[in-house]
Amino acid sequence: MKERVTLTVDSGILKQVDKRVNGKTIKNRSHAVELLLREAIGSNSLHKGLILAGGKGTRLKPITDEIPKPLLPVHGKPILQHGIELMKKFGITEIMLSIGYKGDKIKEYFGDGSRFGVNIMYVEESEPLGTAGPLNLARKYLTETFVMCNADELKDIDLSDMHIFHRDKNAMATIALTTVPDPSNYGVAKMQGDRIVEFIEKPAVPPSNLINAGLYILEPEVLDFVPKKGFAMIEKQVFPKIASLGKLYGYHFAGQWMDTGTLDRYDKAIKEWKGLSK
C-alpha cells in the first residue's frame, strides 16, 4: 500500500532528482524519489545473479565450433560481459555462471570475476540441462531473491525498477517482457493486467507482441517447482505452475533488447547495440 507524503527539499537536490526521470523506466518525480529512498535504506537490494552460459550455439555454426556463444564479441567485449556489467550496474556482484559447452574457455576469460569488479563462481553442466536444470546445481546458493538471465541476449533493463515491481506485486517470479515486430518466433505472453496467465511458444496468431526477454527476478521458492534431476525448461515446466498460482508477473521494459541467437541477429546486434544506458 502506498501513502501520500509532502516533502520540503533543497531546489538543487530536486534538480538532481528530476534528472533521473526519463518517462520510461522512471516515470515521474514521485517514482524517482521512491527509488532513491529504497536505495538509501537498502530495501531495493539485489545481490545474487545466475547467468545461463552453457548452450552450444548450434545456430551460430561454424563460429561456435571454436568459440562458445557467450564469448562472441559485440563492440569489443563478449556478449556475456555485457550481461555481467548490467548486473554490476545495479549492485549485483555475486554472480554464478552455469557453463557447459567449451566452459573452460569461459572460465579462462572471466576467472573469479575480480577483473570485472564482481565475484564469479561456476556451476558446471556435465550434460545439457536446459534453462531450469542448472538451478539444481546452484540450489544451495539461491537462498534469497535473485536475478537469472540467458547469456546470449543484450539487455538494457532497470533492474532496480523491475525489483520494485516484483516486490509490489508479491510475485514469485517476474519475467522481463519486450516487444518485437514479429513475435511469432518467440514465447509470447498472454496477460491479465500485469499477471502472466500463459506463454505460447511461437504462435501462428500471437495473443500480444510481448515476448520473454530472457531475464527473470525469482524467489527461492521457485526452485520447489524445478524437476530435481536432468534436463528441464523453465518456460515449459516451471512458469506454467507458478502462473496457475497467480504468482507469475510480466515487467514490460522500454530499454534495448537484442537476441544474438542466429547469424543474422548477431550481425544486427553488432550494428545496432547502443550499450547500457547511463
pLDDT tens readout for residues 102-135: 999 999 999 999 999 999 999 999 899 999 999 9
Structure confidence by residue, pLDDT tens digits, 4-57: 778 787 777 787 877 777 665 577 888 777 776 666 655 557 999 999 999 887
* pTM of the predicted protein model: 0.85
Please report whether residue 1 resides in a domain.
no
Q: Is the peptide bond before 62 cis (omega within 30 degrees of 0)?
A: yes
Q: What's the number of domains the chain is made of?
A: 2
pLDDT band at residue 195 using 50, 70 and 90 as cut-offs? very high
The span from the CA of 229 to the CA of 126, in Å, is 12
Examine the domain organization and report whether 35 and 68 are in the same domain. no
Query: In terms of Cα–Cα distance, which of 135, 117, 116 is closest to 125?
Result: 135
pLDDT for 173 beyond 70? yes
Examine the domain organization and report whether 89 and 166 are in the same domain. yes
Beta bridge partners of 179: 210
Q: What is the pLDDT of residue 52?
A: 97
Residue 94: partners with Cβ closer than 8 Å, 6 or more residues away: 47, 48, 49, 118, 119
- The fraction of the chain above a pLDDT of 70, given in percent, is 94
Structure confidence by residue, pLDDT tens digits, 133-155: 999 999 999 999 999 999 999 99
The span from the CA of 223 to the CA of 256, in Å, is 29
Dihedrals φ, ψ of 16, to 5°? -65, -40
Examine the domain organization and report whether 79 and 212 are in the same domain. yes
Nine cell digits for residue 64: 561456435
Residue 120 burial (10 A CB sphere; 0-12, 13-18, 19+): buried
Domain range for 60: 45-272
Examine the domain organization and report whether 118 and 205 are in the same domain. yes
